[in-house]
Structure 1
């Protein structure tokens, strides 16, 4: 540590850095040595017999805690204010402060990272609670027999996140694991497979659950063929056997997330070993078949549940190209799939399943587009988007057993199409060149399509345009699929109307704003409030395993509401919004704590807690800073 400074704690709203004891003279400053600032000459200048000068110009440091003055004049992303930059700068300062203090571990490493918040307010004290993961592979008796646990083998998270990692969005799990792994001791034997009876039992559990309808990744008859290829040793089916084996391992990783049967659980570290084995076993020249496509789609689901968005994007790209090569996007496949009547005939059954895999690829492609801001891969210009036969009739939010045999998919396919159209019309490269009139016209068109979709849903299951706690959650509000669908709807509504912030008339507005622009902004903020209020209403139904799936929606909503608070901080609405953000922040913290426990501390849930705590503090400060100005205006009115 340089002399002449003392370390101060970093709290939200304070300057990150050091407090100067004395100012060094110009020569000592140039030589990078301690200056005692003695008068008339310091010690070094006295010995050198030179004058002691203080003429250098001092650079003014930028205050990162305040938004830039020209924030409103930017053309793109008006609603993304300064919170992301604040988070990056604060993370850098925290890491530097932590390394200076030689702090390797904060709190007890046996606790989940976010659990420490209940002991001391670390999200405000300048320390990131980091768990130094040394999670040994479990050797419990209820693990899969084909996953032997060797002594001394470990999967560990890095002791601290790198500075570059804070460029990722806060809803992404950036926890890094050793990519090398000791192949001799911890990798899966290429000749081994999970126990056949275990896989059969897990398959039965899968087919009898709602997950087989939400994620139609496997067909019962076709998966029997996959198992026969995987567990036989006929050299004539070597290529098919390799794809089948990868599909079996991927299915095991998928089931480890849902843990439908307690007797066949595998730990998160064992799941990582399975994922690593699949990634290292595939190569670009491998023969493409439906088992390989199933494997890639399952990997997308697993990585989405794990919050690993970059890996999910890579697998989504591979799966999208694979389904195109297999013809799942074509009208020919659709026509053959329409002949399927749930018989044992394999031709139409295979086409029907291929079509289901296409729709999963299409949905995940659009989902990842909005979560990562990466352009989508599948386009409606190249794909037949005709819905499955009878889809509009049976795709309701129901948990009845007779619906399990029909594919529901993770979301409503019609809403997924609307989300795709919203990106193309408002956020694609060409859309960024549109004029104000074209932007507002696109918003009106997309808003009409969203309302048309909403009214097409049965009244008992229809998402409310604007949700409030008094209106209730409805018959199926606690159904996880219904929860995700309502969050998607409110996010899409806000996503569409927030594009109005790119209008030049908004960035250079005067007293008379454009009515269309201001109305769109009000709709987007109201949709975000509805999303947060609905999330609080159904929080008891949310399980830790969906943390990384769900957390994207409240963070985006909280950012938008914070922007609105900063626009009008002195209103009663702003005060109510701060209270809403505070409740959601506590909910996210509680869910993150449970998720960290379930994931054995191998995730970066603590990073999410830090970010939402910063959002909450920024909202509170905006309101508190507006109080003196409000009092001054009231006093002036009284004086008049």
Structure 2
């Protein structure tokens, strides 16, 4: 991390001061053969709080979190084999009396303590998406890397994250113990499931059916739970494998067929009772909706398509209304958007064709939005005080479901707005100005994606207090992606009228992530949410540097206009 105070030379030149080892000269002084000194006297108005002060304060907070994290990691690695059981309940869990606390100590299975290594899962493209362009340049490409560096006038430290290379994580040495693998007792499993049903996570991820679980936990639910766990920990590659297995398994069970079976039914699909069929169909819709999220975000082909799946009952609100974490009709629009904007043929569109497709999808999205009940209808602009307006007669559990439906609908709508409209930045050539009429259309679409990003951050700031640690998945799913349109707009227009406000919104990620209670979160989830905060704060640093580069007269005020 850069020092809190730049040396005299770097301060005078207004460049980044990089010191690899304390006591050594910085990179710039060392390369120029200069003496690296810190002799200047800093006089600053204590009542004046600049953007630089905010960034430095947030950087200090990140350092404090890093120190606390390192201490926690040290304590966890010093635990002996006879330490707490992997099935034991954390002391802070509010269900104090449980069968878990009465179990004997069990040593970790499968990997010996001496060889156990901590896997590192870095923030990668599945978190922020791949649809980021400026005048035909892919922002996550090598040219995009250089474009960011030129615009900010700084070294780009985004290589600390996997968004450019997206390599597979290295596998540490693993030794298998001769001790037989022991499954947890049934009482422990039942207790953990009961905690799940009572948590807000069960509303966000409705994978289990209480009536069906009493018999057995089948493989289909296992893959769903595994996928959700990996997704929450930022393990995108592992989550993709688990999700693909879950999709295939749901189709093997006939979930891609509607509840009203056709006269001739495939022979390989088993027969179930009505409750089980409804549950499998619900799991199919969960797969279908999240599949469209990933396809639109990453440009990868969808696993489930309307060509091979019957989605005719998406309109049946009596079956799916409020029972799913995503809206089925909106998912169908996202499938259409993925086919039109993210398929290989999308790279052959002319600029006029691309803008026409974006307008067509925007019309479909607006038609869907107006069809939603007025009480839940999503909006593009969200104020800082999100009002739910729920009936007082609802139970606490029903109120939570209603809030979850409302928030998910709002975030999903904003997510779709961003992924449709941000692609207009493909238009143009880096060396030429866009025609005035085309520039106006591109600017209008980009403004929609930027406003959607602002609204996502305002929502995240409020739901953390509502969902507490269960907000982790929502923040990790939306925050990195929502940060990109704001960052790109600031980089293009560092001194624009909205730049300061957008920089403040980006900086709010530190406050949002700090509000997530961590006492009951596993270390992988704490590290993941910390890395998201660090990623967004790196975007803040680059945005701040771009503004200073403009003020020094070292670049144009607006990168989308070439002055000849």
| Aligned-pair CA distance for 1:393 | 8.1
* Match in the other structure for 1:487: 411
| Aligned-pair CA distance for 1:323 | 2.2
Q: 1:302 aligns with which of 226, 229, 235?
A: 229
Q: 2:443 aligns with which of 500, 515, 518?
A: 518
Please say if residues 461 and 512 of structure 2, whose CA atoms lie closer than 8 Å, have aligned partners that are also in contact.
Answer: yes
- The 3 A distance-change label for structure 1 pair 508 and 325 is farther
Q: 2:16 aligns with which of 13, 16, 35?
A: 13
* Match in the other structure for 1:465: 380
- Work out whether 1:188 is the aligned partner of 2:187: no
- Work out whether 1:351 is the aligned partner of 2:351: no
* Match in the other structure for 1:138: 84
Q: 1:570 aligns with which of 477, 485, 495?
A: 495
Cα deviations across residues 597-639 of structure 1 (Å, max 9, x unaligned)? 7223673444323212211112222233334559x99xxxxxx
The residue correspondences of 1:322-333 to structure 2 (distance < 5 A) are: 322-331=249-258, 333=259
The TM-score normalised by the length of structure 1 is 0.59
Cα deviations across residues 248-280 of structure 1 (Å, max 9, x unaligned)? xxxxxxxxxxxxxxxxxxxxxxxxxxxxxxxxx
| Aligned-pair CA distance for 1:184 | 3.3
The TM-score normalised by the length of structure 2 is 0.66
SS at match of 1:366: helix
**Inter-partner Cα distance in structure 1 for 2:101 and 2:159:** 33
- The 3 A distance-change label for structure 1 pair 534 and 354 is closer
| Aligned-pair CA distance for 1:509 | 2.5
- Work out whether 1:365 is the aligned partner of 2:291: yes
Cα deviations across residues 34-85 of structure 1 (Å, max 9, x unaligned)? xxxxxxxxxxxxxxxxxxxxxxxxxxxxxxxxxxxxxxxxxxxxxxxxxxxx
The residue correspondences of 1:16-415 to structure 2 (distance < 5 A) are: 18=27, 117-118=60-61, 120=63, 131=73, 134=77, 136=79, 138-139=84-85, 142-143=100-101, 145=103, 148-149=106-107, 153=113, 156-157=117-118, 166=160, 168-169=162-163, 180=174, 182-184=176-178, 188-189=181-182, 193-203=183-193, 214-226=204-216, 247=217, 291-331=218-258, 333-335=259-261, 347-370=273-296, 372-387=298-313, 390-391=316-317, 395-396=321-322, 408-415=323-330
* Match in the other structure for 2:534: 610
| Aligned-pair CA distance for 1:430 | 2.0
| Aligned-pair CA distance for 1:383 | 0.6
**Inter-partner Cα distance in structure 2 for 1:12 and 1:368:** 39
Please say if residues 419 and 492 of structure 1, whose CA atoms lie closer than 8 Å, have aligned partners that are also in contact.
Answer: yes
| Aligned-pair CA distance for 1:367 | 2.9
**Inter-partner Cα distance in structure 2 for 1:23 and 1:540:** 51
Number of residues paired by the alignment?
446
**Inter-partner Cα distance in structure 1 for 2:193 and 2:245:** 25
- The 3 A distance-change label for structure 1 pair 431 and 121 is same
Unaligned runs of 5+ in 2: 1-8, 20-25, 34-56, 90-99, 124-156, 264-270, 391-398, 558-564
Cα deviations across residues 283-325 of structure 1 (Å, max 9, x unaligned)? xxxxxxxx22222222222222222211110011112222223
Please say if residues 386 and 462 of structure 2, whose CA atoms lie closer than 8 Å, have aligned partners that are also in contact.
Answer: no
Please say if residues 388 and 403 of structure 2, whose CA atoms lie closer than 8 Å, have aligned partners that are also in contact.
Answer: no
**Inter-partner Cα distance in structure 2 for 1:12 and 1:520:** 34
Q: What's the C-alpha RMSD, in Å, of the aligned pairs?
A: 4.6
Please say if residues 525 and 560 of structure 1, whose CA atoms lie closer than 8 Å, have aligned partners that are also in contact.
Answer: yes
| Aligned-pair CA distance for 1:424 | 1.5
